[in-house]
Structure formats: structure tokens, C-alpha cells
Amino acid sequence: MRSDDESGFLARTIAAEDGLKLYVRDYACSEATAHNRPPVFCLPGLTRNSRDFHQLALLLSQGSLGPHRVITLDARGRGLSERDPDKSHYNLAVEAQDVLTVCAALDISQAIFIGTSRGGLVLHILAASRPDILKAVILNDIGPVLEKTGLADIRDYLNRDRKPASWSEAVEILQENHGNAFIALGEEDWQDMARAIYAIADDKPVADYDPAIAAQMQALDLESPISDLWTQFQGFQGIPLMVIRGESSKLLTQFTTDEMAKRHPGIVVKIAGGQGHAPILHLGDIPEAIGAFISEL
């Protein structure tokens, strides 16, 4: 099932506190047993969107890992959510409040949250402010410490900003930027990644996010200290926690992962072989690892 497939979910529009319209995919499941299971709420990375989770959401809602209701969100300024005229609102606090607003609108009092990269940082904020809403958490290649080498990689490929003229060129750009870190991906996987990241405008693929979001990263001063989130990480105490680390990730190191395990006894650690930042969650044996973690709840 490709990420550009438009089946298996209900598209919703939910107004944020400031009125900005947020796009949500609601993967409902009809089985009665699902009502006794917490929903799964997926939060994508900095410039990514809900299409990243489509294949995993189908597995969790209708496939071998289900049945669970699954919610995937396009954060403000990404995908089909509205772009914010106030660019200062592209911050973790506002995005965390957006998650709470969506939960309230969908009558979700508690969920299993999966946060990829930026989405995982949002979950750190919620762990500190609203831990009651977190039934369990899966952090995808993100933790309390952001390595400067990893941030530099993200900044550099955003700065290159090469614009594809076709889908094949979009795939080529992704392979140039990420090929060394994602040796596990086949040709279909690269094509699928392209269709998750890019939208179509004037018959050409275009990056599916507000350029102001990339501009924040492009202007990042890596000579200054980067604050850690260990204080917020403490909010995960008592909450079942899993961390998935890309084998080639430069943003989340093995050292930080080990420290997370020391501070959160019982954490489940999964290494995504042949992948970098951030692992694609429907590939390899990652779905089975996620399914095993969720089933233990």
C-alpha cells in the first residue's frame, strides 16, 4: 500500500485554538474489540506529514497489528493543514497545544503516541505538561539530546533546496541526501518516500510544507549551545516507553539512547538496521516490534 493511496481513513478538519485549520486522518476500525483499546496518535517530523504513517496506520487499524483506531496529524504549516500567517507559531508549545485540541475534538482522553523526530519533541512537552494523556509513547529517532552533527545534516539538505522537475528527480534528490544512511531501502521505498514528502503543484513535485518552517532550521546557529530536554524526559516516568533508533542516525546517538534506558527502567529499545534519521516505521521488522510493544499494554 503506497503512501499516496487515499483509502482506509476519514479525512477531518479540526480548528486549532487560534482558528487555524488542521488536517487529520482518522483510521477507524469496525471491530468491537477496538473500543477496549487505546487509539494510536502519530506525530510526524519537522517538514513531514501524515502520509509518513499511512502504511503503519493501515497495519494498526485494519491489519495484523490491530485493531486500533489510528489518528495521524499534519502539524500546522505541513501537508494539508493551513499555513500560519504568524510564523512564530511554528514552535513546540503551540504544536503541543494543537495535539491536545485535536484530542479534545475527537474525544480522546488518552492514547498511545508515536512521535517521529519533531513529533517526539512535542511528546516531551506533553510529558512535562499533560502526562495523563499519554497511555504509552514510542519515540522514533529522537530523545532529550539533539546532536549538532545531526542538526547540521538537516540544515544542510534544507539549504540545498534543490527543486525536482519530476517524480524521478524527486527520488534522485532523496537518494543523494539520504542514500548513505538508508541502505535498507529499495527503489519502491524511495519512490514511496518521495510521494510522502512531496505534493503536486503545476504538474511538478513540491515540498509539502511552509518554507518558513525550513527557514527556522536553515538559520540555526550551531555555534551556540543546544538545550537538552532531560527535565521534560522525566515526565515519561511511569509511562511505557519505546525508542526506535536508526542504526546510522546522527541525531540520536547510542550514548543518549543508553542514558535514556538508565533513566527510564523498562524502556524498550529497537535499532532500525540500515536506516538513518528518521526510520520508516512500516519497513523491515519495525512493525512487529511496535506491535509487540503495544500488545504488552
Q: State residue 220's pLDDT score.
A: 81
Work out whether strand 204-207 and strand 198-201 pair parallel, antiparallel, or are unpaired.
Answer: antiparallel
CB 35 within 8 A of CB 70: no
Q: State residue 30's pLDDT score.
A: 67
Which residues of the chain are modeled with pLDDT < 70? 1-5, 30-34
The position carrying cell 519502491 is 188
Q: In angstroms, how far is the first alpha carbon of the chain from the final one?
A: 27
The cell numbers describing 290, all together, are 511496535
Work out whether strand 21-27 and strand 10-15 pair parallel, antiparallel, or are unpaired.
Answer: antiparallel
Q: State residue 34's pLDDT score.
A: 64
Q: State residue 32's pLDDT score.
A: 63
Q: State residue 36's pLDDT score.
A: 79
Q: State residue 217's pLDDT score.
A: 86
pTM for this model (two decimals): 0.96
Cβ-Cβ contacts under 8 Å for 282 (sequence gap 6 or more): 55, 56, 59
CB 196 within 8 A of CB 158: no
Nearest to 199 by CA among 209, 186, 212: 209
Nearest to 105 by CA among 27, 10, 41, 16: 16
Q: State residue 210's pLDDT score.
A: 95
- Model pLDDT for residues 97-139, shown as the tens digit of each residue: 999 999 999 999 999 999 999 999 999 999 999 999 999 999 9
The cell numbers describing 207, all together, are 515540498
The cell numbers describing 256, all together, are 543518549
The cell numbers describing 162, all together, are 534543490
Q: State residue 224's pLDDT score.
A: 86
Q: State residue 10's pLDDT score.
A: 96
